[in-house]
Amino acid sequence: MRTKRALPARPVPARPVPARPVLFAALAVTTAGSLLLTPHTAAAEPEPPVTREGPVTREGPAVDESAARAPESAAERALSGPAGPTADTGRTGHGYPREQVLTADPENPADKSIKLGLTPYHAIAPELNALQRLGDRVSVEVTGRSAGGHRLYLVTVTAPETARQTRAQERMRELIENAPARAAADPAIKSGYKAPVFFNNNIHGNEWEGTDASLKLIEQLATADDARTRDLLAHSRLYFNITANPDGRIAGTRANANGFDLNRDFVTASQSETRAMRQIEIDKQPAVMLDLHGYVNGTLIEPTTPPHGENYEYDLFLKNTYANALGMEAAVNGLGYTPAKDGVEPAQIPFRDQAEGWDDWPPIFTPQYAAFHGTVAAHTVEIPMEVNNSAYDKLPEAELRRRSAINVDVAGAALRATLDFVQKKRASLVADQIEVFRRGAAGAAQVPVSKESVPGVPGIGPEDVYTTNFPRAYVIPAGGASQRSATAAARLVDHLVANDVRVTRATRDLRLGGRSYPKGSYVVDMRQPKRGLANVLLADGRDISDKVSVMYDISGWSLGRLWGATVRPVTSGSLSGAPLRAVREAAGVGHVAQVAQSGALRLRLDDPREVAALNALLRQGVSVRRAVDGSAIVPASARSRAVAAARTYDVVFDATKLTGTAELRRVRVAAAVTPGELFALREMNFEVTPVSTAVLNAGFDWSAADVLLVSAGLDRGDLNAGARAALDAFLGSGHGLVGRGATGAALNAAAGLLAVKPVEGNGDANGVVRVVNSGPVTAGAPEHGFVYAPVWFTDLGPGIRVEQSYATGDPLVSGHWRALEDGSGGRADAAGRASVVSGPGAVLFGTEPLFRDHPKGEFAQVARALFTVGHASGGSGEESE
């Protein structure tokens, strides 16, 4: 029997809840150092495609310096939909191996791996070249580039294949996904399909050793001539993402050069590294995967504690993930390290050993996301010996190297145990993957976990049972009255397609579930192989506050509620005969109305793409005015520029009789914010200069800013006298403050701006909430918002406007929000309270409208706030530059 222990708070340090301290650290590093946070305006080309002209190719420059410095082009890519695969991973008509000679990276003596005795990033390319020369089993592909411009290497190890054999494998893979019932009965798949296995390394840059263990294993596999290895490679393909986060590996940071935790980015896929991993999942369709992390002693091996995501085929996942966990545990413990001699504790399996604290609820983590692409054994593995952060700085080099060597051993044991598992269980692993897709395509019910349905897994209880009712379909209506935003709808459709979710489009007007939808509406038929992924992205999610005391990370994320598009679930009815055609991308919505030369065009400012288009026009010197409804009015004389912006940003300029009132001017933003917020601001084409307490104390030129945005890392009380005086002078001279969360509210209070009392809710609470919009900043905003550590405002003084409130009743739609032990901080206290307030010179948010670049539908609220308080009212009307 499983003896579940209730763990003390935060048992697992490696997935620290709110990632904010980490984000601040990353912000500090990048501000001091380099890459993205320096203001740049230089545009850069998208990642160069990697061409593969023959079996052996040479590729372009090792480091793409421009990649990291391209907020605008990055923004355009992010805003204009999915950045698809950056390399053709498997459909090129070649067999294996596919040798590729990599050009050298410049040697970097500052690479943080070196102190640990590990492989620095610059040594990887030559090592991969050497590994390819060892024989005919090793292939290297470049799957993309990191935020900092470094190449991402995918190594495939398998027995050689002719082009024809490779095509046959690809056909089988397609059949498994797209015709699973046929695949289940196909004897060729049973005997001949090579099980795909994916080893993902170093996604957290300062959790290094998965990379080194993988390189070692590849070397062994490249030359081993024993029957077991030959059999393994004849019946499987092993894919190694050598380092998922080169920027972090080099710099010794958890995050990439943009400051993003890539292992929180799978729902949003804002980062190129995440999109590369996503494409591996889609193209390779692994049955088994490991995501190697550190550091938890003893080694922590998934499956996890509850709550378990409700959209998985969790019976199949648990069965295989638990079985492989046992094998990994035995292998790790079998290395012979001891607590007394080595400081190494025995491995632990949270599902079996713990009651709560390490859940698999949100699909923002690699193995959780992988499950939706048919991976039936997927593990985060936390290797044991701490070598990062303060340990890295404080411990002697010899001790660090002792620890890292143990970590390489432990990671290697996990990798080899997984290979043994695959060798033994290949046929049933593939069969279970097929069953995942079959259930989805057939609309079959999930199978609740129990000791009967998942024999061999001890201690399954009601606390482990999570299932959902999939709707029959989702409709994303075309433009017009039924759709809030055609631009947002197109972005959402492109995102779904990039995730390999099937989307169709109505070729005629359509009636579904008792409602009518116009021609051009998008329909997601939920009878599809990846229904779990479709649902986990589009559904509301669930209030899980009563399930566990605290969650590891976010608990709500609905794209259907937060991305700005109208999305309607259709619970019943038939799609047969519906006039639907599959789409590979959303139809473009960019459009400029025909108006008389004296007329005007209106650009709504409800969507980040509309804001990006506005900022592009302002930068070009177009004269734009603000209308009473908060939209932007562009004179018809600027039509050609509007046409270009409509095309670039996929936005609509419609005809209007509004003339506009105040002039809309460029705002240059000084921002003390998280990396996710910074990225979102740059997506909207704002010119942003990152600031912090330290930056202001060093002397900051306020003439380069029009508005201050504060959510993190700036405390007026820690400013020296000169910096404080300069800040006060800036705020006192008609430049405004936009504040977010407790830090923003504290600066507001310290600067004596808005007369409000901020109330902090439970700092762990997060999720999707219902809101009521009531002011110009939030006009046109969705009726839902995202919160993390929610704040609300009471005791509003004269002249304070409520822009938005938490809904009355229970505002939480999905997520985890409990009151604190003393009963305060809960959602009952927040209900009906102001979540966004404005007044002279300031706007304050208690929500998280830019969180990790995720809630796209909310971004425009921040943009409107910045435009509202960016310039002294009644100013000269001059362009700022």
In the complex, which residues of this chain contact Zn ion (CB under 5 A)?
A: 14, 204, 207, 293
CB 785 within 8 A of CB 753: no
| Per-position b or e across 473-489, b if 16+ CB within 10 A of its CB | bbbbbbbeebbbbbbbb
Token pair belonging to 199: 């080893």
How far are the Cα atoms of 200, 320, 338 from residue 852, in angstroms, in the given order? 22, 32, 40
Select 207 or 858, whichever has its Cβ closest to Zn ion. 207
Please identify, using beta-carbon distances, which residue of 89 and 366 lies nearer to Zn ion: 366
CB of 325 to Zn ion, least distance (A): 17
| C-beta closer to Zn ion: residue 380 or 674 | 380
Nearer to Zn ion, 146 or 485 (CB): 146
Q: How far is the CB of 206 from Zn ion (least distance, A)?
A: 9
Nearer to Zn ion, 256 or 711 (CB): 256
Which residues lie closer than 8 Å to 732 by C-beta, 6 or more apart? none
In single-letter form, the type of residue at position 826 comes to: G
Distance, in Å, from the CA atom of 614 to the CA atom of 624, rounded to the nearest integer, reads 8
Q: Smallest distance, Å, CB 551 to Zn ion?
A: 17
The minimum distance between CB 14 and Zn ion, in angstroms, equals 5
Say if strands 377-383 and 288-294 run parallel, antiparallel, or are unpaired: parallel
The overall longest dimension of the chain from CA atoms, in Å, is 84
Which CB, 291 or 353, lies closer to Zn ion?
Answer: 291
Tell me the residue nearest to Zn ion as measured from the CB.
293
Of 204 and 278, which CB lies nearer to Zn ion in the complex structure? 204
| C-alpha span between 476 and 524 (Å, rounded) | 8
Quote the least distance from Cβ 302 to Zn ion, whole Å.
12
Cβ at position 280, least distance to Zn ion in Å:
18
Backbone angle region of 621, left / alpha / beta, with phi > 0 → left and psi within -120 to 50 → alpha? left
Asked whether the bond before 298 is cis by omega within 30 degrees of 0, the reply is yes
Name residue 184's amino acid.
A
Nearer to Zn ion, 293 or 530 (CB): 293
Let me know the angle formed at the C-alpha of 128 by 127 and 131, rounded to the nearest 5 degrees: 90
Computed over its alpha carbons, how large is the radius of gyration of the chain? 27
CA distance 775 to 801: 7
Q: What helix, strand, coil percent values describe the chain, rounded to 5?
A: 35, 20, 45
Closer residue to Zn ion, CB minimum distance, 295 or 653:
295
Long-range contacts of 827-831 (CB under 8 A, 24+ apart): 827/761, 827/765, 827/769, 829/759, 829/761, 829/792, 830/761, 830/790, 830/792, 830/806, 831/806, 831/807
Q: Which is nearer to Zn ion, 118 or 667 (CB)?
A: 118
Rounded least distance, CB 204 to Zn ion, Å: 4
- The residue among 321 and 778 lying less far from Zn ion, judged by its C-beta, is 321
**DSSP designation for 51:** P
Q: How far apart are CA 877 and CA 881, in angstroms?
A: 12
Please, which residues bridge with residue 710 across strands? Answer: 672, 739
Q: Is 752 buried (19+), middle (13-18) or exposed (0-12) by CB count in 10 A?
A: exposed
Shortest Cβ 291–Zn ion spacing (Å): 8
Beta pairing partners, 100: 57
Least Å distance, CB 294 to Zn ion, is 7
Nearer to Zn ion, 263 or 631 (CB): 263
- CA dihedral for 622, 628, 631, 634, sign (positive or negative): negative
Nearest CB to Zn ion, comparing residues 249 and 293? 293
CA-to-CA distance for 62 and 48, rounded, in angstroms?
Answer: 12
Question: Is the bond preceding 295 in cis, omega lying within 30 degrees of 0?
Answer: yes
Beta carbon nearer to Zn ion, 11 or 857: 11
CA distance 64 to 480: 43
Q: Using DSSP, state whether 103 is helix, strand or coil.
A: coil
List helix spans (H) across 13-86.
20-33, 71-79
d(CA 339, CA 163): 51
**How many CB atoms lie under 10 A from the CB of residue 713?**
22
Contact 441, 246 (CB under 8 A): no
Q: How far is the CB of 293 from Zn ion (least distance, A)?
A: 3
Choice between 381 and 802, CB closer to Zn ion:
381
Per-residue three-class SS string for 714-757? CCHHHCCHHHHHHHHHHHHCCCEEEEEHHHHHHHHHHHCCCCCE
* CB of residue 350 to Zn ion, shortest distance in Å: 15
Of 525 and 553, the one with the shorter C-beta distance to Zn ion is: 553
The pair of structure tokens assigned to 509 is 């007007």
Name which of 12 and 436 has its Cβ closer to Zn ion: 12
C-beta closer to Zn ion: residue 250 or 723: 250
Instruction: Collect contacts of 614-617 with beta carbons under 8 A, ≥24 apart.
Output: 614/664, 615/666, 615/684, 615/685, 615/686, 616/645, 616/648, 616/649, 616/685, 617/641, 617/642, 617/645
